[in-house]
Structure 1
Amino acid sequence: MRIRDYELVMVISPEADDARTQAVVERVHRLITERGGNLLKQESWGRKRLAYPIRNYKEGAYFFTRFQADAQVSRDIEQTLRVTEDVLRHLLVKVE
């Protein structure tokens, strides 16, 4: 099991209130730490206008997380974010 660095950016629906937004972010962070990963950096980039509408939304709340974990954790995060309705888009990349 090899530990790698990852960066995750999530765009969360503007309809989600602060509590729901924080719940999504906390769920991802909990998933990382419960499976032996380390959170390195967490930032809220705030609400920004989208380049194009996604599900008829023109803006979203952006969140950035940098973490260390094994490949299975990254697959679990991808699967979780795909089925989370409040997440409009996400991008998870391995940092070389």
Structure 2
Amino acid sequence: MNKYELAVVFAPNLEEEAKNAALEKVQGYITRFGGTVEKVDEWGKRKLAYEISKFNEGLYYFITFTADASAPAEIESRVRIMDSVIRYLITKVEE
């Protein structure tokens, strides 16, 4: 099992309920592919470095999880098509 960090930026115009549903969906993908969510770090609304999809701000979340080496590709393929996600990145954390 490897340790990973998923940085995900949601659209800033999401309602509280929609934001929570999107976050639950991402965590569900992690557990669905054999991962274990260790920590969810909410950074809140931050200004983007440049405009993305006509947004100047985004809701930042950092999710630390452990999973097999094949899981990040599966998770990325699902997160990529979510409407509420404007950017994401999965990195392997060296211990």
Same fold by TM-score, threshold 0.5 exceeded? yes
* Map of 2:87 onto structure 1: 89
- Give unmatched runs, 5+ long, in structure 1: none
* Map of 2:29 onto structure 1: 31
- Equivalent position to 1:75, from 57, 63, 73: 73
Question: Which portions of structure 1, spanning 4 or more consecutive aligned residues, are displaced by more than 3 angstroms?
Answer: none
- Equivalent position to 1:51, from 49, 52, 77: 49
Task: Encode CA deviations 1:23-81: one digit per residue, 9 max, x unaligned.
Answer: 11111111222333211111110000111110110001001100000122211110011
Q: CA RMSD in A?
A: 1.1
Give the total of aligned pairs: 94
TM-score, normalised with respect to structure 2: 0.91
